[in-house]
């Protein structure tokens, strides 16, 4: 029997209530959403109106690095030698510029832009990111800045900026000490902190500007800006101030430095003056020199080639890189070794006929005075610069003991002066000759070394440092140019003198013997002082020297007939006053005999005109 399924009847009342409930929930949800939307619209339209109005005008946020002011450089008396001058600069942000090169062509019609400007801009553009501002033209006149400002609306990404630019008020006189800054190149960019240089395209290239770059540069700052579509500042939102570089105070006496440049005048050479009591360099001139301001904004190819190709080598710092034969200025040091090693006494005499022969050898070594000096002891040999006497002295000493005394004074070594780029010179040894020339050392090499005419080479700074040590009877200090630093908080740090290993002799009176011989150069009637002039009012110990450029047998007879570039160099070393020296001097003049004359002018100026002495000290 089949069973019927039970039929369930719908409850319309229940279903209607269920549907109405769902509709109510959806309605409430829609009302909530509408309320949120209206609230958000009100917030954006009313509360955030200013911000979105700015955005609607295409304003944007930009973070601009702020360059620090480069530290200043002063002489020992507070005279500014390197400063910063405010200038107008036309700068470009490549990422913001529209039709960059077309814009530059149009700007050329408004202000002059040279090929050198373009070349420098291209070089810098390759080294920096496109959103970094790069100078297109520096040192705009006020008229040029005004002319561009009127048209600036036409050139997006181009702006006039006020910049500080390096300036050297004394130009050539301090160029080889201070050096100069220039635009950063690719090799320098790879070594520096790019963040700290993000607002600066310049870096120290040579001299103190390079050696103390870290101290002089300072620390970059930042400013967060709101700018409009044209790149113009709307307002500053935040900033971090830059920290200025440290200021340097040098040991240099500007008046003495200017005097050195003045007396060198049209000559090639160098003058170095050191305070032997502490190693402070009072003057260090190299001539010819150059104008460092040419390099600051980018030197033209023509100007640079003119400097590079000049026969006078104005870019060459002769004071620390010029390698010269030492000539007879070596003789006081050789005499000290002879006394200390007891190979000769101060009273022993020899007869000088004007020539010398080594025992068992027929080769003749000539004295500078072909008729000879007659009977000569040590003091007279120093005073008249008797070659024959020092030939015999060198033979007795041997090259090992000669090298020993020279090395103890620092000959042929770096002085480690605080400016870098220094050359060390050379003190020859048998091993050095074998390695360099592939030949053995002969006794003739030894005796020529004894008069400074062998392979000895020295820089003017090294020679000045050595005579400073002699003047202090063996007490030596490292030559240096920096005497103090002040930071951005104006806190001053004084640089102390650095003692070097002293030269110690067996008998202290040996110093007096040699120094008295150097005094006789100036005081004695037979002294070789004719270019130094008459005896001054202060005491001086000195020594002249001559360095042959070519052998006279290969040149025409008669000094005046020899082409200038083949004429002898002249040298002079000295210190004054003798008992309490205030200055040690080394002068080297190329192809001219005026070294002693120049040294006298430096001493007179510093000790007398500048009043560094009183009567009791003279």
Maximal C-alpha separation, the chain: 167
In 3D, which of 466, 470, 462 has the Cα closest to residue 578? 470
Compute φ and ψ for 123, nearest 5 degrees: -65, -45
Cβ burial 516-527 (10 Å sphere, 16+ → b, else e): bbbbbbbbbeeb
Half-sphere exposure (Cβ direction) of 501: Cα atoms closer than 13 Å: 6
Judged by phi (left if over 0) then psi (alpha if -120 to 50, else beta), residue 614 lies in: beta
DSSP structural state of residue 44 = I
Burial class (CB in 10 A: 0-12, 13-18, 19+), 25: exposed
CA distance 511 to 156: 75
What is the per-residue DSSP string for 357-396?
E-TT---EEE-SSTT--EEE-HHHHHHHT-HHHHHHHHHH
What pairing do the DSSP bridges indicate for beta strands 247-250 and 73-74?
parallel
Task: Look up tokens 């529209």; give the residue.
Answer: 98
Rounded Cα distance, 618 and 607, in Å: 9
CB 330 within 8 A of CB 456: yes
> What is the 3-state secondary structure of 440-475?
CCCHHHHHHHCCCCCCCEECHHHHHHHHHHHHCCCC
- Name the β-bridge partners of 238: 224
Contact present, 468 and 276 (Cβ < 8 Å): yes
Catalytic residue among 89, 286, 328, 408: 328
CB 455 within 8 A of CB 426: yes
10 Å CB burial of residue 491 (0-12, 13-18, 19+) is: exposed
**Do residues 208 and 248 lie in contact, with contact meaning Cβ atoms separated by under 8 Å?**
yes
Strands 269-275 and 364-366: unpaired
429-438 contact pairs (CB < 8 A, 24+)? 429/399, 429/403, 430/399
Nearby residues of 73 by Cβ (< 8 Å), 6 or more positions away:
80, 81, 82, 178, 208, 216, 247, 248, 250
Residue 556 tokens, joined = 């025409």
| In contact, 359 and 389? CB cutoff 8 Å | no
Torsion, CA 165, CA 169, CA 170, CA 175, rounded to 10: -10
Q: Which of 199, 154, 192, 162 is nearest to 63 (CA)?
A: 199
Q: Which residue has the tokens 């420098």?
A: 120
| Tokens encoding 442 | 């002969």
Per the annotation, the verdict on 328 as an active-site residue is: yes
Active site residues: 328
């Amino acid at each position: 029997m089949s069973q019927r399924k039970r039929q369930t009847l719908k409850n319309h009342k229940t279903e209607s209530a269920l549907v109405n409930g769902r509709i109510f929930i959806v309605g409430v949800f829609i009302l909530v959403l509408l309320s949120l939307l209206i609230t958000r619209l009100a917030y954006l339209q009313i509360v955030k109106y200013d911000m979105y109005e700015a955005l609607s005008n295409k304003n944007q946020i930009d973070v601009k690095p702020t360059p620090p002011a480069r530290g200043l450089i002063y002489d020992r008396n507070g005279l500014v030698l390197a400063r910063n001058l405010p200038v107008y600069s036309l700068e470009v942000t490549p990422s913001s510029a529209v039709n960059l090169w077309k814009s530059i062509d149009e700007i050329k019609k408004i202000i002059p832009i040279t090929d050198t400007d373009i070349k420098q801009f291209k070089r810098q553009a390759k080294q920096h990111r496109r959103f970094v501002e790069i100078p297109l033209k520096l040192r705009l006149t006020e008229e040029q800045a005004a002319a561009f400002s009127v048209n600036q609306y036409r050139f997006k990404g181009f702006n006039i900026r006020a910049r500080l630019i390096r300036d050297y008020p004394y130009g050539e006189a301090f160029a080889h000490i201070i050096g100069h800054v220039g635009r950063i190149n690719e090799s320098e960019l790879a070594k520096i902190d790019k963040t700290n240089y993000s607002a600066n395209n310049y870096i120290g290239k040579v001299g103190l500007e390079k050696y103390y770059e870290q101290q002089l540069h300072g620390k970059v700052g930042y400013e967060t800006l709101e700018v409009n579509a044209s790149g113009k500042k709307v307002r500053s939102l935040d900033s971090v101030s830059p920290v200025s570089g440290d200021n340097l105070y040098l040991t240099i006496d500007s008046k003495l430095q200017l005097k050195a440049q003045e007396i060198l005048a049209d000559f090639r050479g160098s003058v170095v003056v050191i305070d032997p009591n502490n190693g402070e360099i009072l003057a260090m001139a190299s001539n010819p020199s150059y104008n460092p301001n040419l390099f600051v904004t980018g030197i033209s190819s023509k100007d640079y080639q003119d400097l590079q190709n000049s026969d006078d080598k104005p870019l060459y710092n002769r004071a620390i890189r010029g390698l010269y034969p030492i000539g007879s200025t070596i003789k006081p040091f050789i005499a000290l070794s002879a006394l200390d090693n007891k190979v000769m006494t101060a009273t022993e005499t020899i007869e000088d006929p004007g020539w010398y022969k080594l025992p068992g050898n027929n080769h003749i070594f000539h004295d500078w005075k072909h008729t000879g000096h007659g009977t000569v002891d040590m003091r007279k040999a120093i005073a008249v610069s008797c070659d024959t006497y020092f030939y015999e002295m060198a033979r007795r000493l041997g090259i090992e003991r000669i090298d020993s005394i020279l090395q103890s004074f620092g000959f042929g070594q770096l002085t480690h002066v605080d400016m870098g780029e220094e050359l060390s010179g050379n003190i020859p040894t048998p091993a050095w000759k074998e390695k360099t020339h592939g030949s053995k050392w002969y006794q003739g090499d030894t005796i020529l070394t004894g008069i400074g005419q062998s392979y000895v080479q020295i820089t003017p700074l090294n020679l000045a440092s050595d005579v400073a040590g002699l003047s202090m009877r063996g007490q030596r200090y490292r030559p240096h140019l920096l005497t103090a630093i002040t930071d951005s908080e104006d806190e001053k740090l004084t640089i102390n003198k650095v003692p070097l290993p002293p030269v110690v002799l067996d008998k202290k009176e040996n110093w007096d013997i040699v120094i008295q011989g150097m005094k006789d150069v100036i005081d004695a009637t037979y002294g070789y002082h004719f270019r130094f002039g008459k005896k001054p009012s202060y005491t001086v110990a000195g020594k002249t020297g001559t360095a042959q450029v070519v052998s006279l047998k290969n040149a025409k007879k008669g000094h005046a007939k020899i082409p200038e570039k083949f004429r002898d160099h002249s040298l002079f070393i000295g210190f004054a006053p003798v008992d309490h020296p205030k200055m040690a001097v080394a002068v080297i003049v190329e192809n001219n005999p005026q070294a002693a004359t120049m040294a006298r002018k430096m001493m007179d100026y510093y000790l007398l005109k500048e009043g560094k002495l009183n009567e009791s000290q003279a």
